[in-house]
Structure 1
Amino acid sequence: MFLDEFHTVIEGRVVVSAAQASRFAKEIAGDFNPIHDPDAKRFVVPGDLLFALAMAKYGLGQRMSVSFSGMVGKDKALILPDLDQGVIEIIDDAGKVYTHVEHSGEVSHDPKLIEALIRSYVAFSGQNFPYILVPLLEKHQVMFNPRRPLVIYESMSFELERVTIAKPELALVDSTLDVNGKRGDAHFIFEIRDGAEVIGKGDKKLIVSGLQPYDAELMRQMVDDFERLKTTYQNTAPA
């Protein structure tokens, strides 16, 4: 499984190093958020990697949802339970829950399909900033604090008509932002397609905190920083 290079199993626990998490974020998701840099002070393992590991272990469900209740730091030992009753909680040895996954309906354990869907979803998810979120913030004339951006990946869910899929692809069909004071709930609505056929739909939710009036120049600087980080990594990463 292609995820083997992005985690290590030690005494039955799943451990993700800073380097593994950072490579997954950049090379699989196209996500250059500084919190995924190995030397970041507030380093966080990408939520999409945790969900991908769960899907690889338990299979692709016809209906799936994932929610995140804690941020995973580097080298945190995580327990993915062997028993699956349709509800999975990824915890540490102290019992703290970091990720809650539910699935129901038909289940596929086809490794090629699971890898294809993971790659497609994570690539879509990694486009959140700047390609989806920035136009949405501009539309509502609000933005996060550039000195301390607080954008939290809270949850994601999807439902499929079937789990026999030849070529899964994801596409954004709508995005919304509900603003309540300093907080905004962003929803990215997407379709799951098998070639040209729409076979499912889903919703990814982000929480954007510390909202302030939109400043085009400040946002442009952040987008430029993102593009610079992306270009630098692509030019220096090993082939």
Structure 2
Amino acid sequence: MLEQYYQDFGTHVCITREQGSRFAKAVADDFNPLHDVEAKKFCVPGDLLFSVVLDKYGINEQMRFTFANMVDEGVKLGMPQGSAQFDIKDGDKCYLSVAREGANSVCKTLTNALIKNYVEFSGKAFPHVVIPLMGKQDVMINPARPMIIYESMSIHMDTLDAHAPELREGEHEFSYEGKRGKIILRFDLIENGAVIGHGEKHMLVSGIRQYCQDTVDELIRGYNEKKAALKPE
């Protein structure tokens, strides 16, 4: 399912602006302006990097992804031979660190199901999850510069003997001090009614300000208008 969203050269992969932007909008339902083709500071969606790693290396019982730098177009993302820990780099610059433990599955059915469900969950975090979560503590992001940075994510699988697990949201968490904060989004993986795994997505937030309902309403209205205009058919 990912062939159209990156170029595979064996030892490395590359992602164009068009591929990253199309993945964000068509797969992740993510309309962050950083992923627009014409964005001045374009960056490849972190969820696409995560998906490429699963597509190339399969799924381990325990996996952790730590994001170090934003990926622009033209970056040659080295794909080292699989090991317990490795970095996705271009030269000396690291973009993503991967740590893996336990058994490994290269089942494409399982991989594609996990990618699809996680990316859809992750992509809708803003504004549908993040804004209400912060609003419970009477704060919000800066609407002029909504800086939310993808820090890390982890997955723990109780079993790899699965085919099409569904994702169920867990108990999310937000904490902050001053203008900086951290968001943890939690989820469970369900198959045949049983929990077979769980995971977390960690994000950093800056520019936190006092909550204003009118501003939130305008922010969501603008986001939904952009989504309606740019959503692929």
Match of 1:63 in 2: 62
Match of 1:48 in 2: 47
Q: What amino acid is aligned across from residue 137 of structure 1 in structure 2?
A: M
SS at match of 2:144: coil
Q: Does residue 233 in structure 1 map to residue 215 in structure 2?
A: no
Q: Distance in 2 between matches of 1:11 and 1:30?
A: 29
Query: RMSD value over aligned CA atoms?
Result: 1.2
SS at match of 1:137: helix
Match of 1:85 in 2: 83
Q: What amino acid is aligned across from residue 84 of structure 1 in structure 2?
A: G
SS at match of 1:104: strand
Instruction: State whether residues 188 and 197 of structure 2, in contact with CA within 8 Å, keep that contact through their aligned partners in structure 1.
Output: yes
Q: Does residue 21 in structure 1 map to residue 28 in structure 2?
A: no
SS at match of 1:140: coil
Paired residue total: 233
Q: What amino acid is aligned across from residue 172 of structure 2 in structure 1?
A: S
Instruction: State whether residues 10 and 79 of structure 2, in contact with CA within 8 Å, keep that contact through their aligned partners in structure 1.
Output: no
Q: What amino acid is aligned across from residue 62 of structure 1 in structure 2?
A: E
Match of 1:132 in 2: 129
Q: Distance in 2 between matches of 1:47 and 1:195?
A: 29
Shift of 1:74: 1.5
Structure 1: 5+ residue runs without aligned partners? none
Instruction: State whether residues 167 and 195 of structure 1, in contact with CA within 8 Å, keep that contact through their aligned partners in structure 2.
Output: no
SS at match of 1:100: strand
Instruction: State whether residues 176 and 186 of structure 1, in contact with CA within 8 Å, keep that contact through their aligned partners in structure 2.
Output: yes
Q: Deviations over 1:57-108 (max 9, x none)?
A: 1110111110101000122111111x22211210002x11100111111110
Instruction: State whether residues 106 and 162 of structure 1, in contact with CA within 8 Å, keep that contact through their aligned partners in structure 2.
Output: no
Structure 2: 5+ residue runs without aligned partners? none
Shift of 1:11: 7.3
Match of 2:37 in 1: 38
Q: TM-score, normalised by structure 2?
A: 0.96
Q: What amino acid is aligned across from residue 61 of structure 2 in structure 1?
A: Q
The percent identity for this pair of structures is 36
Q: Distance in 2 between matches of 1:226 and 1:181?
A: 26
Q: TM-score, normalised by structure 1?
A: 0.94
Instruction: State whether residues 66 and 101 of structure 1, in contact with CA within 8 Å, keep that contact through their aligned partners in structure 2.
Output: yes
Q: Distance in 1 between matches of 2:114 and 2:52?
A: 12
Shift of 1:129: 0.6
